[in-house]
Amino acid sequence: MRGLRSIFGALKIAIGAVRANPARGILTTLGIVIGVVAVVTTMTAANGLANSFRESVATLGSDVLYVSRTPWVMTGNFFDFRNRGNVTLKHGDELDQRLRHQAIVNPTADTRRSIKYRSKTRTNIMVIGTTDRYLQVSSAVPELGRFITAADVRARKRVCVIGMTLRERLFDRQDPINATVRIGRADFRVVGVMERQGSAGFFGGPDFDSQVIVPVTTFVRAFGGSFRSFDLAVKAPPGESIADFEYEVVGEMRKIRKLRPGENDNFAINTMDSLVTMFNNVMGVVL
């Protein structure tokens, strides 16, 4: 509303000036109007972008580190990142043990597949393989049914939890719990529906409401996992400084990856702060 008032105010000034001196005023005031409109439009877009960014970052958690093969914000030689070894499920187990189980370590991997229920199909759907700890490192909760359990992970059960958009597109008003859906070439039983979460719009996705979540062990068997690199979401213990915790995680990951003193890290620690810094730098240039 303030942006519109500014534009209308600028137009009012322009009209008054043109009436007073049409020959001289029209070009000058036209330039003023264009300038005001450009500034207001830029600021409005910037504010919208900032709001979208804050909503996206909030889904990551301020007390969660993400151990990955590559950084979210890449600088340097791309081939150095590409040649790094994968982060594996075994690395996640070792990190959990080295942190004395005081932190929460949750692995995730993803792929794209179609999902089908009877005659309805949705293509290019994000399928996430994870564990029951997913709920502890994110703000997501099921709205219907349940989430995957540790027993599901151990038994490699073909169960899944779907997003709210998928429920609406595939099932309309039907109850999806215990329905069988086909994900790729494998059948899964729906055990839960996540509450509506929206999308991480600033990053171009993902749409959380169109995702499917399956046990990570089932994911490896059904979609292949030996060639994939996993992300490890590591939530700091309550009350611990995130900076101190990051230092500890880096040290333990270096041991797990068998790096000698002086060798560069062959993994990345991604945090909310890294994205905030990048965003602020970009907005500083734009504005």
| H or E stretch covering 165 | helix 164-171
Question: Each residue of 43-76: pLDDT tens digit?
Answer: 565 555 555 545 555 555 678 999 999 988 777 7
Q: Give the amino acid at 116.
A: K
Q: State whether residue 116 is helix, strand or coil.
A: strand
pLDDT interval class at 140 (50, 70, 90): confident
Does 129 share its domain with 202?
yes
Greatest CA span in the chain, whole angstroms?
83
Query: For residue 269, what are its two tokens?
Result: 């620690």
Query: For residue 224, what are its two tokens?
Result: 């292949």
Does 160 share its domain with 92?
yes
Q: State whether residue 149 is helix, strand or coil.
A: coil
Q: Is the pLDDT reported for residue 155 higher than 60?
A: yes
5-44 burial, b at 16+ Cβ within 10 Å, e below that, comes to ebeeebeeebeebbeeeeeebeeebeebbeebeeebeeee
Does 100 share its domain with 37?
no
Q: State whether residue 145 is helix, strand or coil.
A: strand
Q: Is the pLDDT reported for residue 6 higher than 80?
A: no
Domain that holds residue 30: 2-58
Does 46 share its domain with 136?
no
Does 120 share its domain with 194?
yes
CA angle 269-84-203, nearest 5°? 50
Question: Each residue of 245-256: pLDDT tens digit?
Answer: 999 999 999 999
For the chain, give the mean pLDDT: 82
Question: Each residue of 7-33: pLDDT tens digit?
Answer: 555 545 555 554 555 444 445 545 555
Does 42 share its domain with 101?
no
In a domain, 226, yes or no: yes
Q: Is the pLDDT reported for residue 39 higher than 90?
A: no
Domains contained in the chain, number:
2
C-alpha 108: how far from chain center = 12
Entry pTM:
0.76
Q: In this predicted structure, what is the pLDDT of residue 29? A: 46
Does 35 share its domain with 98?
no
